[in-house]
């Protein structure tokens, strides 16, 4: 996934576009570049490295002119290199493009263009776009027409922004199955992957697929795929600048962990009538399938236990990248529930497309307003937990789990009771986070050179083991596995050696006795047992204390210290937890 931005301003655009581009870096950060038009000349600079490194090397913010486009890359087609960095230009160096997405028919298009004499420099799929536009302009089309025709030749998902010496003062943007937001602020009009990149904006709009947006300092024009003008009202963006600010925290991830208690409370703020209707729709559905990826899937797995134990409703959780292989069993009697912080994850949106094709009802639990997924769903339940900037999901995960508590208890007509219990649990989280976490930091110091971490738990706590393992490996790069405690003896136990850290999530609930006996199996083979529990035990070599709460609420109080442990381990290993290597905040490619 990448970040794209374009700005048409009444002043030098590059410094403003660069500021917005920095706010998109969470989407990808292996290379970056910008382009502008000034006095009929295309200026283009790009390089490998993070945005500020490239700016230091190339002077991105020095580019002249009142229109500029920018890109920060997460490599998909073509390795990490300067020539593969965006923007990409046409043969005549009149047109430059930045793109997010995948052009599935790029090889066929590249061949066709090469046969017409176009010279390609990069290995990317993106580079076909400026050459296609150049070809259509050569054949007599206006730039608008050329961009529309180009988009119609592309297969796959894309959001791209174009500037050209032919139309100084204008940038153009178009998208399909990919995020693109159009906005306005005091400096002009802009197109971006994420509205958070331009927090000063005062009005926004979300173009539909294949609608061409033409931006100038004066305003915005929109054309449909036939080139016919469209009127679209701009709305207030509804974002708060300070939420995009790291404050006094060293990393966004720590800030967002500290916001987890608030995230629990925010999840309880729902339209009771609509929420109750949705909960009953889920309860009455003949078949319920929840689909999600990564941390969102682990939240869904907690939800699965809650639906069963509270509402006696069985459901299945299918990871989104595998969902398409189950579409034969999805029909109009199926309720598909999706969970996605970004609402842009391609695996999830792809699954929803198939679900809709089979006439299933789709309800989505999302954080980002205006996301693609929010527009593909019959109904949306918002997390309301504010922007989550760190790549690692923390407060959104906690918020998602809280929404599942609300849904499960609403199914048995306990909406208010659930909200009150969650507010009480959020106070417990405040206590956990207000405690001096030196013991967790000490644990991280002790195990910062570990090669492997194992997390085990049972029942509703098992998804917490998986989530904690994912958090650790994605930001510290320590290999980590989360597994049902009962599974340990079926193979993974062979990996336990003297001193191997094994985190056992075992509150005094219905899973305690059996989980402890599984922990003993690991201990007797030399494991260092880290017990996450409401009471200490002689089996533990280190005890992470959690408060006593109602049995089903232990996942919420267990995951918070384990998010902190992962954060401390990453920092002690000298990693940047906000920008883990190879990853991106929202994976908008399948």
Give the footprint of ligand AGP on this chain (CB under 6 A): 293-296, 340-342, 345, 348, 391-393, 474, 586-587
Cα distance between residue 302 and residue 507, in whole Å: 15
CB of 584 to ligand AGP, least distance (A): 8
Would you say 391 or 419 has its CB closer to ligand AGP?
Answer: 391
Active site residue 585: yes
Minimum Å distance from CB 560 to ligand AGP?
A: 15
312: left (phi over 0), alpha (psi -120 to 50) or beta: left
CA distances from 133 to 142, 344, 375 (A): 10, 27, 29
* Phi, psi (rounded to 5 degrees) for 187: -95, -10
Nearest residue to ligand AGP, using CB? Answer: 294
DSSP letter (8 states) at residue 176:
E
Contact 539, 523 (CB under 8 A): yes
CB atoms within 10 A of CB 11: 11
For ligand AGP, the closer of residues 110 and 395 by Cβ is: 395
Smallest gap, in angstroms, from Cβ of residue 236 to ligand AGP?
A: 24
- Please list the helix, strand and coil fractions of the chain in percent, rounded to the nearest 5, in that order: 40, 25, 35
Nearer to ligand AGP, 213 or 562 (CB): 562
Instruction: Give least dist CB 474 to ligand AGP, A.
Output: 6
Options 170, 395, 471, 585, the catalytic residue: 585
The answer for residues whose C-beta is within 8 angstroms of residue 295's C-beta and 6 or more apart is 341, 392, 393, 396, 397, 400, 467, 470, 471
- Residue 403 φ then ψ, to 5°: -60, -40
Look-up of token digits 């399938």: 289
Element at 182 (helix H, strand E): strand 181-185
Catalytic residue among 2, 293, 315, 506: 2
Task: Compare residues 164 and 193 and give the one whose CB is closer to ligand AGP.
Answer: 193
Cis peptide before 563 (omega within 30 of 0): no
Integer angstrom CA distances of residue 560 from 250, 477, 565 = 18, 20, 9
Q: How far apart are CB 348 and ligand AGP at their closest, in Å?
A: 6
Nearer to ligand AGP, 18 or 348 (CB): 348
Structure tokens given for 462: 């098992």
Choose between 167 and 467: whose C-beta lies nearer to ligand AGP: 467
- Would you call 2 a catalytic residue per the annotation? yes
Q: Which residues are catalytic?
A: 2, 585
């Amino acid at each position: 996934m990448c970040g794209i931005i374009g700005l048409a301003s009444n002043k030098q655009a590059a410094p403003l576009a660069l500021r917005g581009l920095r706010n998109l870096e969470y989407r990808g950060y292996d290379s970056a570049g910008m382009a502008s038009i000034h006095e009929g000349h295309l200026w283009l600079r790009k390089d490998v490295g993070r945005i500020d490194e490239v700016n230091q090397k190339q002077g991105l913010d020095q580019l002249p002119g009142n229109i500029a486009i920018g890109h920060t890359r997460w490599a998909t087609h073509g390795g990490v290199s300067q020539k593969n960095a965006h923007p990409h230009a046409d043969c005549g160096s009149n047109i430059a493009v930045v793109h997010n997405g995948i052009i599935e028919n790029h090889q066929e298009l590249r061949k066709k263009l090469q046969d017409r004499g176009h010279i390609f420099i990069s290995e990317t799929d993106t580079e076909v776009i400026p050459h296609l536009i150049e070809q259509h302009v050569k054949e007599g089309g206006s730039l608008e027409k050329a961009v529309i025709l180009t988009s119609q030749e592309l297969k796959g998902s894309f959001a791209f922004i174009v500037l050209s010496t032919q139309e100084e003062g204008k940038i153009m943007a178009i998208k399909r199955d990919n995020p693109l937001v159009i906005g306005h602020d005091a400096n002009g009009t802009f197109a971006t992957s994420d509205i958070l990149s331009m927090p000063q904006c005062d009005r926004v709009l979300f173009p539909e697929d294949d609608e061409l947006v033409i931006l100038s300092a004066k305003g915005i024009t929109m054309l449909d795929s036939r080139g016919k003008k469209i009127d679209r009202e701009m709305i207030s963006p509804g974002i708060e600048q300070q939420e995009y600010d790291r404050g006094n925290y060293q990393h966004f991830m720590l800030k967002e962990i500290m916001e987890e208690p608030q995230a629990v409370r925010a999840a309880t703020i729902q339209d009771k009538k609509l929420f109750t209707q949705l909960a009953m729709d889920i309860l009455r559905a003949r078949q319920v399938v929840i689909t999600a990826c990564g941390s969102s899937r682990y939240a869904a797995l907690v939800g699965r236990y809650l639906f069963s134990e509270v509402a006696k409703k069985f459901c299945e959780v299918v990871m989104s990248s595998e969902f398409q292989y189950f579409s034969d069993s999805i029909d109009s009697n199926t309720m598909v529930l999706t969970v996605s912080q970004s609402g842009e994850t391609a695996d999830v949106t792809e699954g929803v497309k198939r679900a809709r094709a089979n006439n299933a009802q789709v309800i989505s639990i999302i954080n980002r307003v205006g996301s693609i997924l929010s527009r593909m769903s019959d109904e949306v339940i918002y997390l309301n937990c504010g922007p989550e900037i760190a790549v690692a999901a923390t407060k959104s995960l906690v918020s998602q789990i809280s929404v599942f508590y609300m849904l499960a208890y609403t199914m048995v007509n306990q909406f208010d009771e659930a909200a009150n219990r969650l507010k009480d649990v959020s106070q417990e989280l405040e206590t956990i986070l207000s405690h001096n976490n030196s013991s967790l930091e000490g644990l991280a110091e002790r195990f910062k050179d570990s090669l492997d971490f194992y997390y085990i738990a049972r029942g509703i706590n098992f998804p917490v083991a998986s989530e904690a393992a994912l958090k650790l490996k994605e930001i510290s790069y320590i290999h980590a596995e989360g597994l049902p405690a009962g599974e340990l003896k079926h193979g993974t136990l062979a990996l336990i050696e003297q001193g191997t850290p094994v985190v056992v999530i075992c509150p005094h609930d219905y899973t305690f006795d059996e989980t402890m006996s599984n922990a003993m199996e690991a201990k007797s083979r030399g494991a260092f047992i880290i017990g996450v529990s409401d009471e200490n035990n002689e089996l533990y070599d280190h005890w992470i204390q959690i408060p006593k709460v109602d049995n089903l609420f232990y996942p919420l109080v267990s995951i918070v210290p384990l998010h902190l442990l992962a954060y401390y381990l990453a920092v002690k290993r000298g990693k940047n937890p906000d920008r883990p290597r190879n990853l991106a905040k929202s994976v908008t490619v399948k």
